[in-house]
Amino acid sequence: MNILIVGAGGREHALAWKISQSPLLGKLYIAPGNGGTALHGTNVAINDNDIDGIVAFARDNEIGLVVAGPELPLVLGLKEALDAVRIPCFGPCAFAAQLEGSKAFAKNMMRETGVPTADFRVFDTYETALAYVRTQPLPMVIKADGLAAGKGVVIAQTMAEAEDALKDMMLDMVFGEAGMTVVVEEALVGEEASFLAFCDGTTVVPMPSLQDHKRVGDGDTGLNTGGMGAYSPAPVLPQEQYAAMADLAIKPITEHLASIGQPFKGVLYAGLMMTARGPMVLEYNVRFGDPECQPLMARLKSDLIETMMACVQGKLDPAQVVFHEETSCCVVMAAKGYPQSYPKGMVITGIDEAEKVETVTVFQAGTRLQDGHTVSCGGRVLGVTALGADLQEARQRAYRAVEKISYENSYYRTDIAVKGLRRT
């Protein structure tokens, strides 16, 4: 089977790495891909928002399955466009993709289906939002409604920060149209966890829990990023709670979507806050997380193509989804300055040496090939991922590998998985 992966990040390298191990694979293409995906297939110069270009390439190259990496093509209707030419797509329809494409849509669906979440209000005018914000206790959370590459969320500690966030989003349009509508919600206190599940429209199969690290600095300080590292499983959400968590956070959504004729097929990701009042859903993603995909793919034992096709065909069997018992840890190496302005074009050395560390795989994110060298072209550059018998071993191997990689202006957090170690 020929497969086309859509996307260009570390998640897509991890998917290409895992898919390339399947005996079911014919040719593998990645659009547009990066320096790492080129190791496993053929990169194609088509951007992830070029729906017509993706469909035309899939049709012309006898693609048997298109795998949507990021959320944007799904929100833009990639599945519907592929359905029209009878090419399977691993990822939900545009209606269901609004769970990520619109925070207001997601919050309203949570309220409708009884999924526990923070109290919230939705606003589409600056004046009414400002008047409401000035009556609310601090801290509070202000979110741009639309897609903002993981950066459209402000946890305001002061009223000035809250007012600035509203101005940035609704007046200065720093996130473009994504900020024309905002969600204002109470700030939840607790420890975060990531919980993903394969879905085939009716059946839900949970994956092992993870914990991401969103803030750029050690000790969860600084600006929010797309994620500076992740590990699996997360002790804050142990395996014996997976079934109950699926019942709480995943199944109410998939059952509702099925009941209105919009079945969810693909990966549904619940971002959780484990509060004193119990688990609460912060947000949904409609695809694998990045960097959460990297530690998950490192642990996945079963055939990913087989599982994805079962989801698309409505034939998902929990017995066919198997993960290794080992723990995995991913440390993101970034460019200094990320998530704001950062340098590009740095030559990266030491990846081969890093992968000589036992169980380590270096997933490339913001990279490209130039004159025979791997160079940086994004804020998050690499996801150095290791397995271990326990979290301590996985973490030590990942950081040992990180130390073997070199490029100018490199930056990474030194405390990935420390919260997990404290719990174990």
Question: Residue 201: exposed, middle, or buried by beta-carbon count in 10 A (0-12, 13-18, 19+)?
Answer: buried
**231-278 pLDDT, tens digit each:** 999 999 999 999 999 999 999 999 999 999 999 999 999 999 999 999
Q: Residue 238 corresponds to which tokens in the numbers above?
A: 């142990």
Q: Are 355 and 39 in contact (CB under 8 A)?
A: no
Q: What is the pLDDT of residue 151?
A: 73
Predicted pLDDT of residue 224: 84
pLDDT in tens, 106-136: 999 999 999 999 999 999 999 999 999 999 9
Q: Is the per-residue pLDDT at 358 higher than 70?
A: yes
The 3-state secondary structure of the chain, one letter per residue:
CEEEEEECCHHHHHHHHHHCCCCCCCCEEEEECCCCHHHCCEECCCCCCCHHHHHHHHHHCCEEEEEECCCHHHHCCHHHHHHCCCCCEECCCHHHHHHHHCHHHHHHHHHHHCCCECCEEEECCHHHHHHHHCCCCCCEEEEECCCCCCCCEEEECCHHHHHHHHHHHHHCCCCHHHHCCEEEEECCCCEEEEEEEEEECCCEEECCCEEECCEEECCCEEEECCCCEEEECCCCCCHHHHHHHHHHHHHHHHHHHHHCCCCCEEEEEEEEEEECCEEEEEEEECCCCCCCHHHHHHHECCCHHHHHHHHHHCCCCHHHCCECCCEEEEEEEEECCCCCCCCCCCECECHHHHCCCCCCEEEECCEEEECCEEEECCCEEEEEEEEECCHHHHHHHHHHHHCCCECCCEECCCCCCHHHHHHC
Q: Is residue 148 very low, low, confident or very high in pLDDT (cuts 50, 70, 90)?
A: confident
Do 119-186 and 2-96 fall under one CATH topology? Answer: no
8 A C-beta contact, residue 133 and residue 184: yes
Q: For 332-341, how does the pLDDT look when each residue is reduced to its tens digit (9 = 90+)?
A: 999 999 999 9
Q: Where are the domains of the chain?
A: 2-96, 119-186
Nearest to 96 by CA among 83, 78, 114, 82: 78
Q: What is the pLDDT of residues 45-88, one digit of tens each?
A: 999 999 999 999 999 999 999 999 999 999 999 999 999 999 99
Q: For residue range 183-196, list pLDDT tens digits in order.
A: 999 999 999 999 99
Asked if residue 150 has pLDDT above 70, the reply is no
Long-range contacts of 82-90 (CB under 8 A, 24+ apart): 82/55, 82/58, 84/55, 85/55, 85/58, 85/59, 87/55, 87/58, 87/59, 87/63, 88/64, 88/309, 88/312, 88/313, 89/65, 89/312, 90/65, 90/66, 90/265, 90/266, 90/308, 90/311, 90/312
Cα gap 152→175, rounded to integer Å: 7
Mean pLDDT of the chain: 97
pLDDT of residue 12: 98
Q: For residues 333 and 241, give the distance between their C-alpha atoms in angstroms, rounded to a whole number.
A: 32
Burial class (CB in 10 A: 0-12, 13-18, 19+), 272: buried
pLDDT at 401: 98
pLDDT digits (tens, 9 = 90+) for 153-164: 899 999 999 999
Q: Write down how long the chain is.
A: 424
User: Would the pLDDT of 202 be above 90?
Assistant: yes
- Residue-wise pLDDT for 1-51, tens only, equals 999 999 999 999 999 999 999 999 999 999 999 999 999 999 999 999 999
Q: Hey, how many other C-beta atoms are within 10 angstroms of the C-beta on 129? A: 24
Q: What is the mean pLDDT of residues 308-313?
A: 98
Provide, rounded to the nearest whole percent, the portion of the chain with pLDDT above 90.
Answer: 96
Architecture, CATH, for domain 119-186: 2-Layer Sandwich (3.30)
Whether residue 194 contacts residue 123, with contact meaning beta carbons closer than 8 Å, is answered with no
Quote the percentage of the chain above a pLDDT of 70.
Answer: 100
Write the class of the CATH domain 2-96: alpha beta
